[in-house]
Amino acid sequence: MPSRAPSYGLFIGGKWVAPTGAKRFESVNPSTREPVGSFVQGTAADVGRSVGAAEQAFRGWKETPAPKRGEILLEVARLMKRRKDDLGRLVSTEMGKVISEGLGEVQESIDFIEYMAGEGRRLFGETVPSELRSKFCLTVRQAKGVVVCISPWNFPTAIPNWKIAAALITGNSVVFKPASATARCGAEVVKIYEEGGVPPGVLNFVTGSGGVVGNALIEDPRVRTVSFTGGVETGREVYVRGAKGLKMVHLELGGKNPVIVMDDADLDLALDGVLFGAFGTAGQRCTATSRLIVQAKVYDGFLRRLTERLEDFPVGDPLDPKTAMGPVASADQEKKILEYIAIGKKEAKLRVGGEKLTGGAYDRGYFLEPTIFETKHGSRISKEEIFGPVLSVIRVADYAEAVRVANDVEYGLSSAIYTRDVNRAFRAIDDLEAGITYINAPTIGAEVQLPFGGVKNTGNGGREAGSAAIEEFTEIKSVFVDFSSKLQKAQIDSETAA
């Protein structure tokens, strides 16, 4: 029986095309396993055409004044606002996050596109004094060329827009490859950019596997920059492949994010933050709270209250406003998380959850119980990224031990501390090895006007969002203007030269 899900083609050179005889794949609703969309399984030849279209369109887009590019982005944001409800429901349907989070993700997309539109009147360089008379020194930012944006499934509209809007405002042309599991969200985003006035070829869309489409994009010599968000092992492969072509490769990878709760914390506030941080999006955020580090004096009471709160924590249909947590995103995700839960049961103490939910509507999707383990630092579940609704709780004696435990993992994306001691809070800002630190707030909730990224195996040093986002997609050119009307020799000793 043919699928009733809508079919999408590739978007190349301003046209939606479906190559004759192309193989197709489907994305599915993780709540019901029903198909959400049908997509072309792209080939290396499709990649070649998309990169060619981007290369051809680059010069005209680069020469479009940046404020004009910003006006187009503002129109994209306006269109997205009008379609926020539909797009938010699609995020929840195709990815599985609850509807409030789906709508929130689309709002984040809108906010960032508007923010980047404003950069069209900034794109700051700098001026500096020359060591010589009648000479002016400055820097300007210039577009790199063809940019590849490869996005994950957990934020199927926000992360693509972080990449695409920043790349476009700086004058680059783009080839966008979405995660296959949420390809329909990616396609709908591209349609909005198309309607918003982005010229043909400036934004192209190719679906398919990482092994075929992803590798062909990364290795194409016409591509100058690759922006990738995903897992660490895949990120390493992307980095190596891109390095062979001396490309700029920007990586946003994993996290094992800690929340520290000190004995002077507002425990009610901390409870709310830990629940949202650990189980929002079913723990499938790179910034999710996966470790809870609690000072001994409040450990038992805090853990008891936390497990009690999960007794009334409805898991189910993400489109139901009463649902607190939806399904995990796919069968592969479910399998991986259950494998880690099995590991946890052998090496730690299970406090709550730990099972796949079954019966009724649960049997149609990928639903897991919110899970809490008591464990010691150093166990696998306390150090490895699980990317699911699994929280490891660790008892510590004092602040020094809390920081040591928080830092002793291979990741460094987000971190948080709950304390009423302002001195300790500022110490934590300095002591925690992470790209993001929250004081009295969970590890999730980044805002678009600040840089996003981490240290250690979380990435390779770049940042997305905020004004730093444009750095990923621009080259800095140094300019020297000599208006002395004579040859001046910088850094030449005048007395020696004479």
pLDDT band per the 50, 70, 90 thresholds, residue 492: confident
The pLDDT score that the predictor gives to residue 313 is: 96
The pLDDT score that the predictor gives to residue 495 is: 57
Cβ-based neighbour number of residue 420 at 10 Å: 12
Q: Does domain 257-439 have CATH number 3.40.50.300?
A: no
DSSP 381-449: HHHS---SSEEEEEEESSHHHHHHHHHSSSEESEEEEE-S-HHHHHHHHHHS-SSEEEESS-S----TT
Is residue 176 within 8 Å of 31, Cβ to Cβ?
A: no
Helix (H, G, I), strand (E, B) or coil at 92: helix
β 135-143/474-482 pair status: antiparallel
CA distance 22 to 275: 45
pLDDT (tens digit per residue) in 423-441: 999 999 999 999 999 999 9
The pLDDT score that the predictor gives to residue 498 is: 46
Q: Where in the chain is the domain with CATH 3.40.605.10?
A: 10-253+459-478
CA distance 420 to 440: 8
pLDDT (tens digit per residue) in 174-193: 999 999 999 999 999 999 99
The pLDDT score that the predictor gives to residue 286 is: 95
Q: What is the mean pLDDT of residues 225-234?
A: 96
Is residue 300 within 8 Å of 410, Cβ to Cβ?
A: no
Q: Which of 252, 369, 464, 472 is catalytic?
A: 252
pLDDT (tens digit per residue) in 145-164: 999 999 999 999 999 999 99
The pLDDT score that the predictor gives to residue 493 is: 61
pLDDT band per the 50, 70, 90 thresholds, residue 1: very low
pLDDT band per the 50, 70, 90 thresholds, residue 494: low
DSSP state of 485: S
Q: Which of 101, 286, 385, 472 is catalytic?
A: 286
Question: Which among 379, 406, 389, 373 has a CA at the least distance from the CA of 293?
Answer: 406
145 Rama class: left (phi>0) / alpha (psi -120 to 50) / beta? left
Cβ-proximal residues to 280 (8 Å cutoff; 6+ apart), any chain:
97, 101, 288, 325, 444
Q: What is the CATH number of domain 10-253+459-478?
A: 3.40.605.10
CA distance 392 to 233: 23
CA distance 486 to 352: 79
Q: What is the mean pLDDT of residues 254-266?
A: 97
pTM confidence score: 0.95
Annotation marks residue 369 as catalytic: no
Q: Is the pLDDT of residue 194 over 60?
A: yes
Q: How many CA atoms does the CB half-sphere of 487 hold within 13 Å?
A: 3
The pLDDT score that the predictor gives to residue 154 is: 97
Q: What is the mean pLDDT of residues 464-476?
A: 94
Question: Which among 143, 177, 180 has a CA at the least distance from the CA of 160?
Answer: 177
Is residue 283 within 8 Å of 290, Cβ to Cβ?
A: yes
Annotation marks residue 286 as catalytic: yes
Cβ-proximal residues to 329 (8 Å cutoff; 6+ apart), any chain:
30, 95, 96, 153, 154, 181, 182, 282, 284, 366
Chain centroid to CA 326: 20
Helix (H, G, I), strand (E, B) or coil at 451: coil
DSSP state of 325: B
Q: Where in the chain is the domain with CATH 3.40.309.10?
A: 257-439
Chain centroid to CA 39: 23
